[in-house]
Structure 1
Amino acid sequence: MAPSNQLAPDALPPGFATIQQIVEGDHKTGVFINSMGVVIDVQEPRATKGSDWKSTMRIYDKSVEDNDESSLTINVFLPQKDMPKPARGDFVVLLRLKIQKRGFGDISLLTHRESGIYLFTGSKIPRPPADASAAFSPSTSRVKRALNKVELAHIPFSYHGLDKTRIPTEFEFETRLIQSRNFKEKFSELKDLKDGTFYDLLVYIVRTYDSGDRMSLWVSDFTENQAFYHHEYKGPKTALVQEGDPYGYCAKFTKELPATSSWEGPFGKRSMQVTCYDSHAEAIRTGSEAGKGHWVMLKNVQVKYGQNGANLEGYLRGDRQFGESKVNMIPLAFHEDPETMDPRLYRALERKRAYERSLKAQKKQIDDAAAAGQKRKSDALTGGKPVLNAKLSRKEKRARQKNAQNAQNAQNAQDIQQPDTPVSTQKMNPQVKCENHTKPTSSLSDILTKAFADLDTGGEEVKLPMPFTNMNYRVNVRVTNFSPPDILQFAVPKKTSEYDVLEDDGDSDSSSGMDDEHMASDSMSWEWRFALELEDSTPDIKQRERVWVVVDNQSAQCLVNLDATDLKRDVETLDLLRQRMFLLWGNLEENKHEQRQAAKKANQFRTGDPPPPDSSDNEGDGSNKDNADSDSKVSNLPFNCCIRQYGIKVRESDPTKADAGNNKRWERVYGLFGTKIVED
């Protein structure tokens, strides 16, 4: 019987993966993995732009010993003093290395601060059943923990059971090592490019063009080169044009047309055209990681003057040495770990952020001047009389619709259910539609009732209270309140910036503490986030419950058919949102505004009550004072909508209430879904 610290010869220690499993993609990229193998190639460590040095090694094991082209590359980032120095045929054990696939290349492993590299001298590894402790080289690298007995005992089985014909000769190994020392840095920033030289470039793709047998890219690293084409900023993206009516007599002829220039930047001499052939063109055409808005590393780009003889251009062709199928283009991720992120990419991101901030200020000055000039021209054409353009026409149309809706609401005010007036029939809002309209309706009272699960404890049934249920409902309700109290705050910024990895330079783009200028940054996206308080309008009930429902981004897009934006700056979207919410809640917004103004005059201004902290306990008491005071003044119609019940985890300091574990408890929440406002 084999000792307990030994495995079967072909079995890896627990938690380890074979090289074949890794290179064939059995494990997802980005996860940490353990593996082991024999060293067949090493590149001399060299300095990087950061504090770590970089070295690479290639290993193989029994799973790929019959495939001469299959091996696993290990990218090692460590201080120079901690770099392992393996020789040919040495055995290496790898703990917690990250699986990566750089663009169109092969899968490899990358060291991390939690990684461990354990090197064993091949010639000293004993034959099994002895373990490999005597062959360990403890001074070659930082290690995180000692290998256990099972791992140490497996090394001799793995090493001596391997076909070693793939291990290069001493001469071949040393020749490759010497060649790696003669590494010539081909990387250059765009500002330093010269005619007739091959470079490695780290660039941001500005535009792409498909020319059939080739692909053309415009790229930038946000440095300037005087030999590049000069892209000039030509003012606002749109210009006011009056077709067939130069004097503005007929508003219907006025519309906005695109300006002649479609170049979106970067402006000045900051961009170079790169023509890509062969496999490179196909990779761009079919891949999603090498298009507009992506950072890439381009290898071995030929730079020379283009056909016009005035501007430098780049050319990326098939690699004759490795075959035309090799792709010398590596997509880069700006959300990488800052510790392992290429410092050249980090600096390029800093330049891009600085350029965009500077451009934003310059564009505002130019656009303001252009707008002032356009106004003077318009006044001259019309004799100083205002011209109703399309935007003003839409505004007048919305005003007419609002007046008509006010009249309709006033006419149907007697049909609105009040808490003490049961109604057998009711007029529903025809401009609100919802999914599952054939399903029976539920009352809020039924929905708010806590659910219980039947638990059989061996002959005796016990009802166990459930913190929430995952259920969908259709209800008849009317809106009695909303939060935030200002409709301008219904859209919030959602940071999806490539600059998140950068350190704060004192002009932070983070969502906390940002001023309006930063909130409107092009790197900021927006999402809907608000809540509605709904009151039950089911006919013939005496107690009318109320509940707060969350309206998330997806539900709000369905509800108002608008994408979230900066409502403080996008006046047109704000007008459309206000118009559509008016169709839902009638004069509720005006009523709340009047209340706030009255409270402000009385020096008792409040910003409004947020939704209850636990909607499962106190949304149905109907005790909201603001709403009680304003119910008689609010005029809106009940409508059908869909709401869902679900649970979220919240912090809980009382361990007796932490039913979600880890100092957290479940909280019951309700959300709107599948409901849409339709306009006539």
Structure 2
Amino acid sequence: MPSWVSSSSVRQRQSRDLITGFTSIRDLLDGAIQPGSLANVIGLIRDCRLPIKTKGADYKAMWTIYDLSTQHDGDTLDINIFWPLEHIPDVGAGDAVLVKQAKVQRFKANALSLITASRTVIHVFAASRILRPPNSARSALLPSKRHKEASLPTDKECDYISIFYHSISKDDLPDDEQFKTIKIQSLNVKDKFALLQDVRDGKFHDLVVQVVRDPFDLGDKITLYVSDYTENSSFFNYTWEGVRDLDLGESHGYGSQGPTSSGKQWIGPYGKKAMQVTCYEPHASYIRSEVKVGSWIELQNVQMKFGRNGAYLEGYLREDQNARSHRIRVRAFDISDEDNKDPRLKKALRRCRDYLEQKKADLERLKTDEFGSKRKREEPEKKVKNTRQRRKEKREQAQARNQLECRKEQALDLNPLVTSESMNTPITTVEDILEPIIYEPLVNGEVVRIPLPFVCRKYRAAVRVVDFRPCCLEDFACRHRVPLCDHMFSDDENESNTTDSPATEDEAVLPSRLVWEWRFMLQLEDAAPKTKEPSRFWVVVDNASAQYLTDLDASDLRQDTETLAKLREKLFTLWGDLEERKSREIAARKAAAAAKKRRPDDMPPLDSSDDDDVGHRDTNADGKGKERAFSNKPFSCCIMQYGLKAREDNPALVDAGAGKKWVRMYGLFGTRICS
């Protein structure tokens, strides 16, 4: 033992807590930290694989390290580094490494290892320059192009590196020449990855695929049906009509008409996009515990050949006879892991997403047997005389309209706490918004009047809220389903990949999670109605518009009382005491309904009566009803008109394709409560 290290110091450094915040390799391999968690370790380089290019922008390198806890039993820990080439340090045998915030992973059924995450920091100390204690090892720290000054190791960590390096056994380290040979040989890696469309008989390939039916366990082996959503002419053709699953009585699953029914779930895809793979031990054991229908997996060194009947190409994954240990060549991906940057998986998920969109369109065509044509709707072109006088008149008319609009808005006394976009746009009345649009094209020299079901148009209006739906504020937020692998797609791709109610089999293909979003409706009337019974209409407030309106994010309002209180306060600015009145009216309706159901002997005296009118009317002393005045101020808002397709059983009303008609809709946007 060196004279500068006391026995108590050695025992302390060899204890399970090597240094505060760090974990020994022995504890990590024994499961002290669960896969998916972050860990800090310190070790010595024993083996190294030089960086190789991945399918993405990064390079991959792998280091093998050991520490005081494993120096005598031969166990080591692998560190997988996915960084740009210029950020990966060049290490030598015996160099000390300090790793912070690396993710613990279990690759297939092998021992635990580490993989770099977005926050991972790695520092390397050159072995030849590490001074003996009590000197610090900071002078041996190699410069880093990746980490900033703030992430440099502390003085305490540098002092420990010096003690650690001069305490650990180095008997099993290769010499410099051996280590250089190991590094050079690590580059001799043949990429055997292939898409299913490119696999050929007699070849061995690596695959990234999805399991598209329940694995079939045959005891000593397991049969998988997999797809990466590419097509191969040598695969079985799964048709749309009468798709039947694997016949458990047939060894290879193919009959004269294809797979027959076994009750096993088939989630697609259809066509020649799926292949059968037979997996033997030890891979079968891993599949039993980690793989199910819908799982995305990597298969390595799969042999391709035609099956027993010689009709279709199949895959076979056998035991590695040349390996000293039972190496598992199956790995299940976690597609919800944001640090998973495997470009092969990302591309496969995109193909899967594209297939599901195409499948949905194909099913619609199969249901209708005819294609609905979109009717071209255009605004009539206004003939404008290109003269200086006409332009001058238009400018004068526009100025006059603007002055008139300003005077109108001042007279309306709009709520200053509610603002809208396009404040210079003239206000449109509700009557004008609801007026049907007539298209008048010239056909054979005659004007033909065609009423349009809707037009895509935006308005600015002065209105007040007179009702809302749902009746309960707690129901203003609803749950929405989004795919777990959203991070795999860019922002513009995510929009087309979300769905409120995915089909059961599509949910198995792309698993999803539930999030909360705003969804409610407001009934509006003109701020200055011209009649005693003003026109009213409903506008939809979607998630984005509601976020802008209230400056609040949707949540479970039955549990999130704080957000519910903020929402109620915001909407009070918009509609005054409308919620209170609506609550009283609902209670009155329920009381009236209960009174009608009472038995005759429970009825009140004949000279008494229930008030059935519980709408927007009060009762005077003379018993006559009068319209209840609204207390909320009118406000300026932006409204858009659009159309939606709805089912229609009456053929005379169908105008949007087979069995569909257009429905005119209105939506709120660009309006904000500033209080």
Match of 1:131 in 2: 136
Q: What does residue 97 of structure 1 align with?
A: 102
Instruction: Give the structure 1 partner of residue 367 of structure 2.
Output: 367
Question: Which range moved further: 135-144 or 316-325?
Answer: 135-144
Once the two structures are superposed, residues 223-264 of structure 1 have per-residue CA deviations (whole angstroms, 9 ceiling, x without a partner) of 111111111111699xxxxxxxxxxxxxxxxxxxx9999744
| Alpha carbons 1:491, 1:526 under 8 Å: kept | no
> Partner residue of 1:87?
92
Q: Structure 1 residue 323: deviation in Å?
A: 5.1
Distance 1:507 1:303 in 2: 35
Amino acid at match of 1:625: R
Structure 2 counterpart of 1:321? 322
Correspondence for 1:603 among 509, 524, 535: 535
Deviation at residue 602 of structure 1 after TM alignment: 4.8
Equivalence map 1:535-614=2 (5 Å): 602-605=534-537, 613-614=564-565
Q: Distance in 1 between matches of 2:516 and 2:79?
A: 45
Q: 1:23 to 1:524 in 2, by over 3 A?
A: closer
Q: In structure 2, do the counterparts of structure 1 residues 128 and 494 end up closer, same or farther at CA, with 3 Å as the change threshold? A: same
Question: Does the 8 Å CA contact 2:234/2:312 hold for their aligned counterparts?
Answer: yes
Deviation string, structure 1 residues 610-641 (Cα, Å, up to 9, x no partner): 9894399999x998212433444336679xxx
Rounded to whole Å, the distance in 1 between the matches of 2:285 and 2:191 is 27
Instruction: Give distance in 2, aligned partners of 1:282 and 1:519.
Output: 28
Residue of structure 2 equivalent to 1:498: 485
Q: Distance in 2 between matches of 1:148 and 1:195?
A: 57
The correspondence of residues 234-383 of structure 1 with structure 2, limited to 5 A, is: 234=241, 263-285=266-288, 287=289, 289-322=290-323, 325-337=326-338, 340-369=340-369
1:500 offset after TM fit, Å?
4.4
Question: In 2, Cα distance between the equivalents of 1:333 and 1:277?
Answer: 23
The answer to whether the Cα contact below 8 Å between 1:234 and 1:261 also exists between their aligned partners in 2 is no
1:359-386 CA distance string (max 9 Å, x none): 110122113349xxxxxxxxxxxxxxxx
Using the size of structure 1 for normalisation, the TM-score is 0.56
Query: Does structure 1 residue 233 correspond to structure 2 residue 213?
Result: no
Secondary structure in 1 aligned to 2:50? strand
Q: For residues 500 and 120 of structure 1, do their structure 2 counterparts lie closer, same or farther at Cα, with a shift above 3 Å needed?
A: closer
- Paired position in structure 1 for 2:112: 107
Which one of 118, 122, 129 corresponds to residue 127 of structure 2? 122
Residue aligned with 1:165, SS: coil
Does residue 1:629 correspond to 2:588, yes or no? no
Instruction: Tell me, in whole angstroms, the C-alpha distance in 1 between the residues paired with 2:483 and 2:357.
Output: 17
State whether residues 481 and 500 of structure 2, in contact with CA within 8 Å, keep that contact through their aligned partners in structure 1.
no
Secondary structure of 1:166's match? coil
Secondary structure class of the residue paired with 2:69: helix
| Cα distance in structure 1, aligned partners of 2:325 and 2:196 | 26
Secondary structure at 1:183 match in 2: coil
| Matching residue of 1:412 | none
> What is the CA distance between 1:298 and its match in structure 2?
0.8
How far apart in 2 are the matches of 1:325 and 1:517?
Answer: 41
Aligned to 1:392: none
Report the counterpart of residue 174 of structure 2 in structure 1. Answer: 168
Inter-partner Cα distance in structure 2 for 1:149 and 1:515:
54
Q: Distance in 2 between matches of 1:325 and 1:351?
A: 33
Distance 2:485 2:27 in 1: 33
- Cα deviations across residues 368-405 of structure 1 (Å, max 9, x unaligned)? 349xxxxxxxxxxxxxxxxxxxxxxxxxxxxxxxxxxx
Determine the C-alpha separation between the residues in 1 that align with 2:488 and 2:110. 24
Q: Distance in 2 between the 1:103 and 1:168 partners?
A: 28
1:78 pairs with one of 77, 83, 100: 83
Match of 2:431 in 1: none
- Does the CA-based 8 Å contact 2:108-2:329 persist in structure 1? no
User: Which amino acid is the alignment partner of residue 353 of structure 2?
Assistant: R
Q: Is the Cα–Cα contact under 8 Å of residues 482 and 515 in structure 2 kept in the other structure?
A: no
Deviation at 1:488, TM superposition (A): 11
Q: In the alignment, does 2:202 pair up with 1:196?
A: yes
Q: What CA distance in whole angstroms lies between the structure 2 residues aligned with 1:300 and 1:624?
A: 69
In the alignment, which residue of structure 1 is the partner of 2:222? 215
Q: CA deviation at 1:326?
A: 2.6
Other-structure match for 1:666: none
Answer yes or no: is the 8 Å Cα contact 1:274–1:315 preserved in 2: yes
Candidates 27, 40, 49, aligned match of 1:43: 49
Distance 2:341 2:128 in 1: 37
Q: Distance in 2 between matches of 1:487 and 1:119?
A: 56
- Counterpart-to-counterpart distance in 2, 1:500 and 1:139: 29
Q: Please tell me the residue identity of whatever aligns with 2:278.
A: T
Query: Is the CA contact 1:206–1:293 (under 8 Å) kept in the aligned structure 2?
Result: yes
Corresponding residue number in structure 2 for 1:416: none
Counterparts of residues 594-673 of structure 1 (less than 5 Å): 602-605=534-537, 613-614=564-565, 624-634=580-590
TM-aligned CA deviation for residue 499 of structure 1: 3.9
The Cα offsets for residues 121-163 of structure 1, whole Å up to 9 and x where unpaired, read as 2122222111112222215764562222111111121111111
Contact 2:335 2:484 in 1 (8 A): no
Residue-by-residue CA offset, 1:480-520 (whole Å, 9 max, x unaligned): x9946799999642224434431134571466xx7999999
Which residues of structure 2 form unaligned runs of 5+? Answer: 245-260, 371-467, 524-531, 547-556, 558-562, 596-675
Q: 1:143 to 1:73 in 2, by over 3 A?
A: farther
* Residues in 2 aligned to 1:220 and 1:326: alpha-carbon distance in whole angstroms: 24
Give, in whole Å, the separation in 1 of the partners of 2:356 and 2:171: 56
In structure 2, the residue corresponding to 1:222 is in which secondary structure?
Answer: coil
**What CA distance in whole angstroms lies between the structure 1 residues aligned with 2:594 and 2:173?**
81
Q: Any idea what the Cα deviations from partners look like across 1:498-548, whole Å, max 9, x if unmatched?
A: 34431134571466xx799999975586979999xxxxxxxxxxxxxxxxx
Percent identity of the aligned residues?
31
CA distance 1:25–1:317, shift in 2 (3 Å): same
**Where does structure 1 lack aligned partners over 5 or more consecutive residues?**
238-257, 371-480, 532-566, 568-591, 594-599, 639-680
Q: Which amino acid aligns with 2:138?
A: S
Distance in structure 2 (CA, Å) of the matches to 1:614 and 1:486 = 10
Q: Distance in 2 between matches of 1:9 and 1:526?
A: 45
2:495 aligned residue: 508
Aligned-residue offset at 1:281: 1.3
**Aligned AA (1:154):** Y
Equivalent residue of 1:367, what SS?
A: helix
Is the 2:267–2:505 contact (alpha carbons within 8 Å) kept by the matching residues of 1?
no
Assess, with a 3 A threshold, how the Cα gap between structure 1 residues 486 and 233 changes in structure 2: closer, same or farther.
Answer: farther
Matched letter for residue 270 of structure 2:
F
Pick closer, same or farther for the CA change 1:324–1:216 going to 2, 3 Å: farther
Given that 1:189 and 1:201 are in contact with CA atoms closer than 8 Å, whether structure 2 keeps it comes out as yes
In the TM superposition, residue 280 of structure 1 has moved relative to its aligned partner by 1.3
Q: 1:188 deviation in Å? A: 1.1
Q: Could you say which structure has the larger radius of gyration?
A: 2
* CA distance in 2 between partners of 1:179 and 1:608 (Å): 65
